[in-house]
A and B are shown apart, each in its own frame.
Chain A
Amino acid sequence: MNWFVFILIAWVCFGLELALLPVFDAGSGGVHPSMVVPLLVFIAINAPRRPTLWCAITLGIVMDLLRPIPAVDGGTFTVIGPHALGYLLGVHFVLAVRGMLISRNPLTMVVMSILVMLIAQIVVVSMFTARGIGDSSLIWDAGIQLRQGLFSSLYTGISALLLSFVFFALGPFFGFASAVPTRFARHI
């Protein structure tokens, strides 16, 4: 896998996610599509297992660093880990089922992006909620966050549909070395 291309595309995806946040935000309610998760799903469907896991951790750490959580003292905290572990678990799910997926189908990207985002959000909410049991310095409402995460996951399906065409076109530049073994189709 070409890491330079991955970093460049990831940089653009993070930029798109943050720049389009106020425009695509549904009623300023924190429900917005992710541009990073479709990239992660695209990598998970096509790349070998080990680089995929490192991609998930890298994107997750960057997402953690870009998501400061408001604190009760009026400041913010940056907690590294929840998104990285959430993305990692989501990617594990894709790796487990990718043998049964049609890799170059936009609908695959849509469904997998929704599911990966949902898994990641559940992990993030669970970790912050568990953290809040012993540390009340962060402002965190699990119910609101879970609701936002659920709707954001569905919303991510739309961004995944649009981005899938871009990623399919850019596929050769990623330099995925070998075809992923499929259960129902022969290797081309």
Chain B
Amino acid sequence: MPITIGVLFILSFLPANLIRWTDWFSAQVQVAIVPITHPLTIVVDTIVPARISNPNASDRERALLNELERTKVELLQSREENTRLDRELAQFRLGAGHSAERIKQATRPRVGNLAGGILLIRTGNIEELTQGTVVVSDATQLVGRVSRVDRKTAQVLPITATGAQRITGTILLSEDSSRNPRCLLSPVGNGTLSGVVSRPAFEDSSQIQVGQEVRLLDTLWPTNAQMLLIGEVVEVKVDPEQPLRSIIVVRPTFNDPRRLPEVIFRIPDTDEPGGRP
């Protein structure tokens, strides 16, 4: 017993790069626990159904709405790319081609949750699924990023989890993206994100209203994730320490990521279009 306690104590304080081997044990325990958590999750979801967006829509209507959202994201991404290229042109740095990244999407079911708000997704054998892969629901609603991949499962850290990092978003006020205010959003812990809005101009702050969309515009995220929907503004308040700045509270369209039945992985498509048959 004293040896065990000593070993546990040492393991607790080992540097992060020396405890990577624990991932394998963690994956085995998760596999062992899934046969009980998954049926229980199904029972719980049946008894207490999760709120889904637009519940009255038929499958065809939902598919059309998803397609519409996808097109909207592509349009916004193109606009953002055009703005960036315009900026580069102005600085005489020509040569950067349009880097519209092709992606392939894979829908996979959630089989359970882990503590800390982490989602456990059954992935099967998806090639090129790596740590950092962007995860969405309902076509374009940003859920989070893959934090760990095993042979059969992946862990997803949602943007609303308390351990998630801050993200930069933009509030869509006008078609000119350079005039849209930016915001640095942090997870609050109750399923929302909150942060201070930085204004390009003074008069823009008054236009921020409840119900406006906030989209991702963060250089720390992959290109294919830009302009994905973070959520809608549910509250606008004045920062008590900086009265000229606004604080917004943003809620994603899903109520709770841990109740999502499935998620979509957005994997960069590295295959050449005409390369292999």
Contact = CB atoms under 8 A, between A and B. Distances in A.
26 contacts: A11-B33, A14-B33, A18-B113, A18-B114, A20-B40, A21-B115, A21-B258, A30-B117, A66-B114, A68-B116, A70-B161, A70-B164, A71-B16, A74-B145, A74-B157, A75-B131, A76-B147, A76-B155, A78-B26, A80-B8, A80-B12, A81-B9, A127-B13, A130-B13, A131-B13, A144-B162
Interface of B: 1, 4-5, 8-13, 15-16, 19, 22-23, 25-26, 29-30, 32-33, 36-37, 40-41, 43-44, 48, 112-118, 131-132, 145, 147-148, 155, 157, 160-165, 189-191, 256, 258-259
A18 B25 CA distance: 18
Contact of A22 (B43, B131, B157, B256): B256
A141 B148 CA distance: 21
A179 interface: no
Interface stretch (A95-103, A108-116, A132-140): A132-140
Contacts of A131: 12-13
A72 B116 CA distance: 15
Contacts of A16: 40
B11 A80 contact: yes
Contacts of A84: 8
Contacts of B32: 11
Contacts of B157: 70, 74, 76
Contacts of A77: 16, 19, 22
B48 to A, nearest CB: 6
B83 to A, nearest CB: 27
A68 to B, nearest CB: 6
Interface in A123-165: 127, 130-131, 135, 137-139, 141, 144
Contact of A85 (B9, B40, B41, B147): B9
Given A71-B147, A76-B157, A79-B22, 12 more contacts: A19-B112, A21-B115, A23-B48, A29-B189, A62-B29, A68-B116, A70-B116, A74-B145, A75-B148, A81-B11, A85-B8, A137-B16
Contacts of A15: 33, 36-37, 40
Most chain-B CB neighbours within 10 Å: which of A22, A62, A137? A22
B36 A14 contact: yes
Contacts of A22: 44, 113, 256, 258-259
Given A70-B147, A70-B157, A74-B131, A80 B112 contact: no
Given A21-B115, A22-B258, A28-B189, A11 B36 contact: yes
B22 A80 contact: yes
Given A66-B30, A85-B8, A30 B36 contact: no
B147 A79 contact: no
A69 B114 CA distance: 10
User: What 4 pairs between A and B have smallest CB-CB spacing?
Assistant: A15-B36, A70-B163, A81-B12, A19-B40
Contacts of A172: none
B152 to A, nearest CB: 16
Given A19-B44, A70-B157, A127-B12, A57 B4 contact: yes
Contact of B37 (A18, A23, A75): A18
Contacts of B117: 28, 30
Contact of B189 (A20, A127, A144): A144
B165 A139 contact: yes
B153 to A, nearest CB: 12
Contacts of A68: 26, 114, 116, 118, 147-148, 155
Nearest to B187: A28
A62 B22 CA distance: 11
B118 to A, nearest CB: 6
A16 B10 CA distance: 31
Contacts of A23: 44, 48
A6 to B, nearest CB: 15
A20 B132 CA distance: 27
A5 interface: no
A77 B44 CA distance: 29
Contacts of B258: 21-22, 25, 28
Contacts of A78: 19, 22-23, 25-26
Nearest to B149: A75
Given A15-B33, A65-B26, A79 B19 contact: yes
